[in-house]
Amino acid sequence: MSEINKDSLETPLFPLSINVLPGAYLPLQIFEPRYLDMVKDRLSKQEGFCIVLSQPEDVSLDSEGLPQHSATGTYVEVVDFNQLENGLLGLTVQGKYRAQVLDRKEQDDGLLLGTIIQLKEPEDDSLQHEYENIWRVLEEISEHPEIKKLQLEIDFSSSSSVAYHLASLLPIIPSDKQSVLESNSNNSRFKILEDLLKKLGG
C-alpha cells in the first residue's frame, strides 16, 4: 500500500477526458472563462492545479450535483504558455505527483475546487531485473528523435518513474493510464504494462 501525505491542499480541479501521469507533459487549449481565470490565478501564485479523469457523460451527477470524476488525479504545474493562432490560450503542464481528492466544492463560476493530498510513491527497489522488457522498451522509445525533443527527465533507477513514463508514451487509452496511476505498487503497474505491450505487439 502507498503512504498518504497528511498535508492537504485546496486547489482547482480540472476534469478532462484525457489524463497526465507524474513526470509527463500535456498540451492544453484553454477557452472557458472559468479556466482562463484559473490559469491566471495559478500563474500569479506560481501554483498548480489537479487534473482528474472525468467520467462518461452518461454517468449521473453526484448527490451534490457535481460532475463525477476519478478520485485519484495528478497535480500539475504550468511549464509553458502562449497565445495560439486560433485565439485560444495554449498551455503545457507537467505532472508533478499523484493526488487523492478528499472533498470538493463548486465556485459560482462553476470551477471545481478540491481538497487533495499527495500520495507517496512505493519505495520499491529497482524492478529492472524482473521486468527487463519494460526497461528495454522505454529506453528504445526515449531514443526516438521526436521523444528526445520532449526532454523528459526519466529516472531509470526509479521503478515509479519508469512505469509512469512508459505508460505516458505508449498509445493507450486514458482508462489504462488511470489504472497505472491508481496502482499502489510498481509490481502491479508493470503487470498492467506487460499486458498492454502484449496487446500492442511489443
Percentage of the residues of the chain whose pLDDT score is greater than 90: 81
Question: Per-residue b/e over 23-46, b at no fewer than 16 CB within 10 Å?
Answer: bbbbebebeeeebeebbeebeeee
**How does residue 1 score in pLDDT terms, banded at 50, 70 and 90?**
very low
Q: What are phi and psi of 62, to 5 degrees?
A: -75, -175
C-alpha distances in Å from residue 173, one per residue of 12, 138, 153: 24, 18, 23
What are the beta bridge partners of residue 116? Answer: 9, 101
Q: What are phi and psi of 194, to 5 degrees?
A: -60, -45
Burial of 7: CB neighbours in 10 Å, binned 0-12, 13-18, 19+: exposed
pLDDT digits (tens, 9 = 90+) for 111-159: 999 999 999 998 776 789 999 999 999 999 999 999 999 999 999 999 9
Joined together, the cell numbers standing for residue 88 give 485560444
pLDDT digits (tens, 9 = 90+) for 76-92: 999 999 988 888 899 99
Cell 489537479 maps to which residue? Answer: 50
The one-character DSSP state at 65 is S
Mean pLDDT of 32-50: 95
Residue 69: what pLDDT? 92
What are the beta bridge partners of residue 83? Answer: 89
Joined together, the cell numbers standing for residue 79 give 511549464
169 three-state secondary structure: helix
71 three-state secondary structure: coil
Residue 126: what pLDDT? 77
pLDDT at residue 57 tops 70: no
pLDDT at residue 68 tops 50: yes
The model carries a pTM of: 0.91
Give the whole-angstrom CA distance, residue 184 versus residue 1.
Answer: 5
Mean pLDDT of 178-193: 96
Closest among 152, 50, 53, 159 to 97, alpha carbons compared = 50
Residue 58: what pLDDT? 52
pLDDT at residue 73 tops 60: yes
130 three-state secondary structure: coil
Residue 11: what pLDDT? 97
**How does residue 161 score in pLDDT terms, banded at 50, 70 and 90?**
very high
The overall average pLDDT reported for the chain is 91
C-alpha distances in Å from residue 50, one per residue of 9, 95, 148: 10, 9, 26
Of 27-41, 42-56, 59-73, 176-190, which gets the smallest average pLDDT? 59-73
pLDDT at residue 72 tops 90: yes
Joined together, the cell numbers standing for residue 23 give 513526470
